[in-house]
C-alpha cells in the first residue's frame, strides 16, 4: 500500500507511540500531587517544551487542546470575548478566502452572533497567495480593532503565504494576528513565521503524532478569554483534565519533526510531478508559480474526475486525497480552488498527493503507475 495523504493525517511515528506507551504505564492525573500525578505532569511539561520549540514560541504560551480545529475555535471566540471584556472590542475580522473551514465557519458564526463585528474575506491570486494589497486596504478602512487570520501554508495546495508581510501590515494597523501553522509545522521552520503572531494553532496528527491533540500558542498580552471553565488546567486558559498520553505523543512527534525539517521531500514531489507531466501533457498543477510546501502536489487531469480517480487508485493500493470536500457521498468543488479562479469542471478533477516522514520513491512510483492505468482507460473511453 502506498500512503500519500500526509496532509490529512501522517502515520504515527515510532517515537510518538513509545512516548504514549510510557504515559499509559504511568497513569495519574497531572493535577494530582502524588507520585503518579507528578510523573504525569512531568511528561506533559516536557512535551510542552518540545511543542514550544517546534512553534518557535515560549513554553508558557503553549495551551494544549483536542486538535487544530479547537485551537482555531478557541482563538476566534476567546479573542473576541476578551476584547469585549477588556475594552479592546474587535469590530473587524478578516479571514483569507483559502482558510480551513475551522476558521471560515467560525468566523461566519461570530459575525452572525456578535453585534458590531464585520467579517470580511481577503482575496487570493490565481496561485492561491494572499493579496496583501487588498489586506492593506481592508485594514485601513473602517474603525476599531481588527483580527486577521491566515494560514502559514494551505492544506490543499501547499502554497506558502507571505506571513512576514502580513505580520508587518497587521502591526502597522495595530491589529492582532492568528497564524494557522497546522500544515506548515514540521515542514517549515516556524520561528520566523510565527515571530509576530499573537496566536498560532498546531495539530499533532499532521506531524506523525496522535489524533485528537493539538496546541494553541497565545502570546503574552494577546487578548484571550477561556471558553472552557471549571478547572485551573493550562493556567486557567482551558479547563479539563489533559490528554497526557496524547500530549506525550505530540511532544515526541514535535521533536522528531523538528529534526526532520532539513530532510525535505521536495525531490520526491518534483520527481512525481515530472512523471505526471510526461504522463498527461494537459495536467494542471495548482500553485506552481508560488512557494509551496515541499511535500504537496495538487493537480488535475482534465476529463478524469476526482471521485473516479480516488476509487481507482484505492483499488490499486494508492491512497491520496481529492482537492474537493466530500460530504455524505457527494463531492463538491474545493473553496480553495474556487478562490483561485479555477473552473468548477477542473476543480472536480483535482487530486492531492502529499508525502511525509516515511514516504519513499516506491510510493511515488506506485502512484504514477496507478495514474497511468487510469489515464489510459479514460483516453480509451474518449476514443471510443
- pLDDT at residue number 384: 62
Q: Which of 82-86, 106-110, 117-121, 192-196 has the lowest mean pLDDT?
A: 82-86
Q: How far apart are CA 54 and CA 251, in angstroms?
A: 9
Q: Above 60 in pLDDT, residue 130?
A: yes
C-alpha separations of 64 from 59, 132, 182, 215, 279 in Å: 11, 31, 14, 4, 45
User: pTM of the entire structure?
Assistant: 0.95
CB atoms within 10 A of CB 211: 15
The model's confidence at residue 141, banded by pLDDT at 50, 70 and 90, is confident
Q: Is the separation of the CB atoms in 166 and 138 below 8 Å?
A: no
Q: Rounded to an integer, what distance in angstroms lies between the CA atom of residue 214 and that of residue 69?
A: 8
- Which residues are known catalytic residues? 326
Question: Helices 266-279 and 361-383: crossing angle, nearest 10°?
Answer: 20
Cα 294 to chain center, whole Å?
15
Q: For residue range 220-272, what is the model confidence (pLDDT) as tens digits? A: 999 999 999 999 999 999 999 999 999 999 999 999 999 998 677 899 999 99
Q: Which domains does the chain have, with CATH numbers?
A: 14-259 (3.40.640.10), 264-383 (3.90.1150.10)
With 90 as the cut, is the pLDDT of residue 104 above it?
yes
Average pLDDT across the chain, whole number = 94
Confidence of residue 369 (pLDDT cuts 50, 70, 90): very high
Query: What confidence score (pLDDT) does residue 144 get?
Result: 84
pLDDT of residue 82: 93
pLDDT at position 323 is 66
pLDDT (tens digit per residue) in 251-263: 999 999 999 986 7
pLDDT of residue 87: 77
3-state DSSP call for residue 32? coil
pLDDT surpassing 60 at residue 329: no
| Mean pLDDT across 106-129 | 96
| pLDDT tens per residue across span 299-309 | 999 999 999 99
- Quick one: average pLDDT of 192-210? 96
pLDDT over 70 for what percent of the chain?
Answer: 97
Does residue 328 surpass a pLDDT of 90?
no
Amino acid at each position: 500500500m502506498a500512503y500519500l495523504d500526509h496532509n490529512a493525517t501522517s502515520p504515527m511515528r515510532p517515537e510518538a507511540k513509545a512516548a504514549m506507551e510510557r504515559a499509559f504505564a504511568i497513569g495519574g492525573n497531572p493535577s494530582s500531587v502524588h507520585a503518579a500525578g507528578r510523573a504525569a505532569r512531568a511528561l506533559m511539561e516536557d512535551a510542552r517544551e518540545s511543542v514550544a520549540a517546534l512553534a518557535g514560541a515560549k513554553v508558557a504560551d503553549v495551551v494544549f487542546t483536542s486538535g487544530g480545529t479547537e485551537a482555531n475555535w478557541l482563538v476566534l471566540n476567546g479573542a473576541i470575548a476578551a476584547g469585549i471584556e477588556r475594552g479592546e472590542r474587535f469590530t473587524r475580522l478578516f479571514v483569507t478566502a483559502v482558510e480551513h473551514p475551522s476558521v471560515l465557519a467560525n468566523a461566519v458564526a461570530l459575525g452572525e452572533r456578535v453585534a458590531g463585528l464585520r467579517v470580511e474575506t481577503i482575496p487570493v491570486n490565481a496561485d492561491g497567495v494572499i493579496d496583501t494589497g487588498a489586506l492593506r486596504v481592508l485594514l485601513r478602512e473602517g474603525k476599531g480593532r481588527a483580527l486577521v487570520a491566515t494560514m502559514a501554508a494551505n492544506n490543499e495546495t501547499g502554497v506558502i503565504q507571505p506571513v512576514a508581510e502580513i505580520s508587518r501590515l497587521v502591526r502597522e494597523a495595530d491589529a492582532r494576528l492568528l497564524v494557522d501553522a497546522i500544515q506548515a509545522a514540521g515542514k517549515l521552520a516556524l520561528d520566523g513565521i510565527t515571530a509576530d503572531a499573537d496566536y498560532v494553532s498546531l495539530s499533532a496528527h499532521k506531524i506523525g503524532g496522535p489524533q485528537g491533540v493539538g496546541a494553541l500558542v497565545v502570546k503574552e498580552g494577546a487578548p484571550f478569554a477561556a471558553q472552557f471553565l471549571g478547572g485551573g488546567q493550562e493556567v486557567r486558559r482551558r479547563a479539563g483534565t489533559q490528554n497526557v498520553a496524547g500530549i506525550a505523543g505530540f511532544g515526541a512527534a514535535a521533536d522528531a519533526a523538528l529534526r526532520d525539517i532539513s530532510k525535505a521531500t521536495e525531490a520526491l514531489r518534483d520527481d512525481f510531478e515530472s512523471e505526471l507531466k510526461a504522463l498527461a501533457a494537459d495536467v494542471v498543477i495548482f500553485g506552481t508559480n508560488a512557494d509551496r510546501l515541499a511535500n504537496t502536489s495538487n493537480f488535475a487531469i482534465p476529463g478524469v474526475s476526482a471521485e473516479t480517480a480516488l476509487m481507482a487508485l484505492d483499488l490499486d493500493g494508492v491512497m491520496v486525497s481529492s482537492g474537493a470536500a466530500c460530504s455524505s457521498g457527494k463531492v463538491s468543488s474545493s473553496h480553495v480552488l474556487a478562490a483561485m479562479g479555477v473552473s468548477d469542471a477542473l476543480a472536480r478533477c483535482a487530486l492531492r498527493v502529499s508525502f511525509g516522514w516515511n514516504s519513499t520513491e516506491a510510493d511515488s512510483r506506485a502512484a504514477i503507475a496507478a495514474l497511468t492505468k487510469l489515464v489510459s482507460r479514460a483516453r480509451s473511453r474518449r476514443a471510443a
